[in-house]
């Protein structure tokens, strides 16, 4: 191990001790030693071999032993143990420019943040605004720092990639020679996370070169990874890569299908083709070397005896069998949604007044809106005490009088405690129209504990719905080990509604769960879980996942009318 490596580990030890709140002198001694070692003139090996480390100012017996162990064995037990004593992701937080160990300690202790994904989520929920030592400005800096770091990570959340995909399409679509253009890959399939942007163009062959030149010299291109006649790859300044392929217009339908994927779906499609004694690939659908002409994807599916399969469904999840039987569902559309639940107001951790939320929902054409703030044990989110519930209900009654064109439901997102009990007594719960149970704390559970906790909430007659059932945060936090299919079976038994949380960090229930819920007849409610008016726009991501999970209008709670909701689900007052 060389000087630089030793210095880096000593510095990291200092940071870890600092995060743990150890004695500042001890912390400082590691920082100092790190600096001294990195500026040594001599080789560290030599010093260790000759036993001369202690001659260096600031290196006492303890540091001498540790550095010696590091240099001679390449490892240090003290360092390994120290790392193991803190959550793994905590150290990554140090890579965010505006965060030092002290701040990380606060984030960990006060908000239980253990990694970058959780931190990003907390910033977006405004949790740092009133946290001691932080504030709106520092929250903004942290968000920017995370964005910077993400540039060099590998997968991205859907909305980030979608935005970049739109930019590329906008810049390319008017170019001379282009006949057809589309995104492909996981972006077209509306996956929750996406690695890169696949774009397919059909063009007059003589323009292919110009198109590639334009693509590789767009203003936001940071790096050209490869440039050719039919394929080029670039990296955008956001760190997101894009592959462009240019094909002839005859080849376009086959190539679009191929590059849309998924790989698993493609494998199955080739198998279907084989049964017809045909060969399918990105260049065509061949019968004894002769291509069967298809002018679009619809015709390609038809040529294989299949109903058209929307891109979202192409995951090898039963779609080919369904297409053979003409049983592809009529997927949910954005305008099937008639109202929204699970919106946070400034009573808890949202930023907007109830009146502004109501006005916005009217403007967006919704027939109903459910205000669902946090319950009292969510103290970090300013959860509602009993008195403030009464106050909120009075305000909602007054607003309902003022805005008769929309139904305002009184809701609550009530914490499910670790024993499965809820945050309020039944009388208080009865005062709401809609009760959404949710887990926000004590997330470390075994599969059995998670199931018991959730099922107890399902059994509670006051609970209408369960929010973000697995607790996952995409690219940040694993779901708790809940057997989701078994949980959905229980939800079916008790007639409960399950949320599809539309926040792009969550998208929970996931699309596989959606399909399973549909099979059980469990109603899914797509909720924005919005903390601001902008957050209402997340609905489209939830709708994307609902489509990916085979859901139709009939499967969705919030595609019902107010009347149906009140008759079948929430008592009319
Ligand atoms: P990603 O980029 O990881 O989010 O997911 P995809 O699905 O966009 O994957 P990508 O970009 O590697 O490839 C785009 C599509 O191209 C993929 O969905 C299917 C097709 N494809 C790529 N490589 C293969 C392959 O080896 N076999 C088959 N059958 N299809 C492939
Ligand atoms: Ca891709």
Instruction: Let me know: does 136 contact 106? Beta carbons within 8 Å.
Output: no
Residue whose C-alpha is closest to residue 95's, from 206, 174, 14, 15? 15
Answer whether residue 264 is part of any domain. yes
Instruction: Give how far the C-alpha of residue 130 lies from the chain's centroid of Cα atoms, to the nearest Å.
Output: 25
Q: Which of 86, 107, 132 is the last residue of a domain?
A: 86
Six-digit token string for 412: 């609550």
CA dist., res. 429 & res. 414, Å (int): 9
* Cβ burial, residue 50 (10 Å; 0-12/13-18/19+): exposed
> Are residues 133 and 231 both part of a single domain?
no
* Ligand 1 atom at minimum distance from 265 CA: 29
CATH assignment of the domain containing 99: 1.10.150.20
Residue 536 DSSP one-character state: G
Q: Give the CA distances from residue 225 to residues 49, 168, 242, 247, in Å, rounded to whole numbers and listed in that order.
A: 46, 16, 10, 20
CATH assignment of the domain containing 272: 3.30.460.10
Answer whether residue 329 is part of any domain. no
Average of per-residue pLDDT values in the chain:
94
Q: Which ligand is nearest to the CA of 267?
A: 1
The three-state DSSP-derived secondary structure of 144-213 is HHHHHHHCCCCCEEHHHHHHHHHHHHHHHHCCCCEEEEEEEHHHHCCCCEECEEEEEEEECHHHHHHHHH
Q: Which residues pair with 224 in a beta bridge?
A: 234
pLDDT at res. 97: 78
Answer whether residue 573 is part of any domain. no
CATH assignment of the domain containing 24: 1.10.150.110
Answer whether residue 538 is part of any domain. yes
Question: Cβ(185) to ligand 1 under 6 A?
Answer: yes
Return all residues near 570 (Cβ < 8 A) that are at least 6 apart. Answer: 409, 433, 434, 464
Six-digit token string for 411: 């809701």
Residue whose C-alpha is closest to residue 65's, from 53, 79, 57, 56? 53
> Are residues 121 and 167 both part of a single domain?
no
Question: Cβ(273) to ligand 1 under 6 A?
Answer: no
Going by alpha carbons, the residue nearest to atom 26 of ligand 1 is: 263
For ligand 1, the distance from its centroid to the CA atom of residue 263, given in whole angstroms, is: 5
CA dist., res. 496 & res. 522, Å (int): 7
Residue 42 DSSP one-character state: S
* Cβ burial, residue 136 (10 Å; 0-12/13-18/19+): exposed
Kindly give the interhelix angle for 101-111 and 116-124, rounded to the nearest 10 degrees: 70
Six-digit token string for 116: 């970058």
Residue 36 DSSP one-character state: H
For ligand 1, the distance from its centroid to the CA atom of residue 155, given in whole angstroms, is: 14
| Residue 331 neighbours by CB distance under 10 Å | 19
For ligand 2, the distance from its centroid to the CA atom of residue 165, given in whole angstroms, is: 11
Going by alpha carbons, the residue nearest to atom 28 of ligand 1 is: 263
Starting at the earlier edge strand, list the strands of the sheet with 284-287.
279-281, 284-287, 290-291
Domain holding 348, by residue range, is 334-568
Q: Is 352 left (phi over 0), alpha (psi -120 to 50) or beta?
A: beta
> Are residues 51 and 128 both part of a single domain?
no
Residue 435: its H or E element: strand 434-438
Question: Cβ(254) to ligand 1 under 6 A?
Answer: no
> Are residues 98 and 82 both part of a single domain?
no
Question: Cβ(437) to ligand 1 under 6 A?
Answer: no
Going by alpha carbons, the residue nearest to atom 23 of ligand 1 is: 263
Cis peptide before 509 (omega within 30 of 0): yes
pLDDT tens-place string over residues 454-503: 999 999 999 999 999 999 999 888 898 899 999 999 999 999 999 999 99
Q: Which residues pair with 400 in a beta bridge?
A: none
Answer whether residue 542 is part of any domain. yes
**Residue bearing tokens 């057809």:** 180
Per the structure, the count of domains in the chain is: 4
Six-digit token string for 421: 């009990």
For ligand 1, the distance from its centroid to the CA atom of residue 244, given in whole angstroms, is: 13
Answer whether residue 232 is part of any domain. yes
pLDDT at res. 142: 94
Question: Cβ(259) to ligand 1 under 6 A?
Answer: yes
Residue 248 DSSP one-character state: -
CA dist., res. 332 & res. 526, Å (int): 11
Q: What angle do CA 176, 178, 184 make, to 5 degrees?
A: 140
pLDDT at res. 190: 97
pLDDT at res. 153: 66
> Are residues 387 and 419 both part of a single domain?
yes
Instruction: Let me know: does 187 contact 161? Beta carbons within 8 Å.
Output: yes
pLDDT tens-place string over residues 61-106: 999 999 999 999 999 999 999 999 999 889 889 888 789 899 999 9
Residue whose C-alpha is closest to residue 310's, from 255, 245, 251, 265? 265
pLDDT at res. 573: 46
Q: Which of 281, 301, 324 is the last residue of a domain?
A: 324
> Are residues 55 and 125 both part of a single domain?
no
Mutate to test the pocket of ligand 1, among 162, 165, 185, 265 (most ligand atoms within 8 A of CB): 185
> Are residues 236 and 257 both part of a single domain?
yes
Residue whose C-alpha is closest to residue 254's, from 295, 299, 284, 286? 284
Instruction: Let me know: does 397 contact 354? Beta carbons within 8 Å.
Output: no
Residue whose C-alpha is closest to residue 467's, from 438, 441, 504? 438
Q: Which of 86, 112, 135 is the last residue of a domain?
A: 86
| Residue 406 neighbours by CB distance under 10 Å | 18
Question: Cβ(263) to ligand 1 under 6 A?
Answer: yes
**Residue bearing tokens 């001379």:** 176
> Are residues 44 and 102 both part of a single domain?
no
**Residue bearing tokens 């890569």:** 241
Cis peptide before 304 (omega within 30 of 0): no
pLDDT at res. 427: 94
Residue 296 DSSP one-character state: S
For ligand 2, the distance from its centroid to the CA atom of residue 262, given in whole angstroms, is: 9
Q: Which residues pair with 196 in a beta bridge?
A: 241
Going by alpha carbons, the residue nearest to atom 18 of ligand 1 is: 261
pLDDT at res. 175: 97
Q: What angle do CA 469, 474, 475 make, to 5 degrees?
A: 150
> Are residues 445 and 494 both part of a single domain?
yes
CATH assignment of the domain containing 532: 3.20.20.140
- Residues of the chain with pLDDT below 50 are 572-573
At 311, is the secondary structure helix, strand, or coil? helix
Answer whether residue 28 is part of any domain. yes
> Are residues 104 and 59 both part of a single domain?
no
> Are residues 435 and 531 both part of a single domain?
yes
Question: Cβ(62) to ligand 1 under 6 A?
Answer: no
Six-digit token string for 107: 């984030």
CA dist., res. 194 & res. 159, Å (int): 9
Name the pTM for this structure.
0.80
CA dist., res. 541 & res. 554, Å (int): 19
CA dist., res. 356 & res. 565, Å (int): 24
Six-digit token string for 284: 């065509």
For ligand 1, the distance from its centroid to the CA atom of residue 121, given in whole angstroms, is: 29
Return all residues near 39 (Cβ < 8 A) that are at least 6 apart. Answer: none
CA dist., res. 132 & res. 189, Å (int): 43
> Are residues 473 and 534 both part of a single domain?
yes
* Ligand 1 atom at minimum distance from 187 CA: 8
């Amino acid at each position: 191990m060389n000087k630089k490596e030793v210095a880096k580990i000593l510095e990291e030890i200092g940071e870890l001790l600092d995060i743990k709140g150890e004695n500042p002198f001890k912390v400082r001694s590691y920082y100092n030693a790190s600096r001294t070692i990195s500026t040594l003139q001599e080789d560290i090996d030599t010093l260790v071999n000759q036993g001369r480390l202690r001659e260096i100012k600031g290196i006492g017996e303890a540091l001498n032993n540790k550095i010696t162990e590091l240099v001679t064995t390449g490892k240090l037990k003290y360092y390994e143990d120290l790392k193991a004593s803190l959550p793994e992701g905590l150290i990554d937080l140090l890579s965010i420019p505006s965060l030092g160990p002290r701040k990380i300690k606060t984030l960990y202790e006060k908000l239980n943040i253990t990694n970058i994904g959780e931190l990003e989520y907390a910033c977006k929920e405004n949790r740092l605004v009133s946290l001691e030592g932080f504030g709106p400005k520092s929250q903004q800096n942290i968000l920017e720092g995370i964005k910077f770091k993400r540039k060099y990570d590998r997968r991205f959340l859907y909305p980030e990639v979608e935005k970049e995909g739109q930019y590329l399409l906008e810049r390319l679509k008017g170019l001379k020679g282009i006949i057809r253009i589309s995104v492909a890959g996981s972006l077209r399939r509306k996956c929750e996370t996406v690695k890169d942007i696949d774009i397919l163009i059909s063009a007059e062959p003589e323009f292919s070169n110009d198109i590639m030149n334009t693509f590789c010299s767009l203003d936001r291109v940071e790096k050209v990874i490869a440039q050719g006649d039919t394929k080029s790859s670039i990296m955008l300044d956001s760190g997101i890569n894009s592959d462009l392929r240019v094909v002839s217009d005859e080849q376009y339908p086959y190539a679009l299908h191929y590059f849309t994927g998924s790989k698993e779906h493609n494998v199955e499609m080739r198998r279907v083709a084989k049964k017809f004694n045909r060969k399918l690939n990105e260049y065509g659908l061949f019968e004894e070397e002769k291509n069967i002409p298809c002018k679009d994807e619809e015709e390609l599916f038809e040529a294989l005896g299949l109903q058209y399969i929307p891109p979202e469904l192409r995951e090898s999840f039963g779609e080919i069998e369904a297409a053979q039987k003409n049983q592809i569902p009529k997927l949910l559309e954005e305008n099937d949604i008639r109202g929204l639940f699970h919106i946070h107001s400034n009573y808890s951790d949202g930023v907007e007044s109830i009146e502004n939320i109501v006005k916005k929902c009217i403007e967006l054409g919704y027939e109903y809106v459910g205000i669902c703030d946090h319950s009292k044990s969510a103290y970090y989110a300013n959860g509602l005490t009993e008195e403030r519930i009464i106050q909120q209900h009075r305000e909602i009654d007054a607003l309902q009088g003022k805005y008769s064109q929309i139904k305002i439901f009184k809701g609550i997102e009530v914490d499910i405690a670790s024993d499965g009990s809820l945050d309020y007594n039944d009388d208080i719960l009865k005062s709401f129209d809609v009760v959404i149970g949710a887990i926000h704390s004590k997330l470390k559970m075994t599969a059995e504990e998670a199931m018991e906790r959730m099922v107890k909430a399902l059994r509670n007659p006051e609970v209408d719905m369960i929010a973000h059932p697995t607790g996952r945060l995409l690219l940040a936090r694993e779901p708790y080990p809940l057997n989701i299919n078994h949980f959905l079976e229980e939800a079916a038994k008790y007639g409960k509604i399950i949320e599809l949380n539309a926040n792009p960090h969550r998208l929970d229930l996931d699309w596989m769960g959606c399909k399973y819920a549909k099979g059980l007849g469990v109603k899914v409610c797509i909720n924005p879980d919005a903390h601001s008016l902008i957050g209402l726009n997340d609905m489209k991501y939830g709708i994307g996942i609902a489509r990916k999970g085979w859901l139709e209008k009939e499967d969705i709670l919030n595609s019902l009318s107010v009347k149906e909701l009140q008759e079948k689900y929430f008592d009319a007052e």
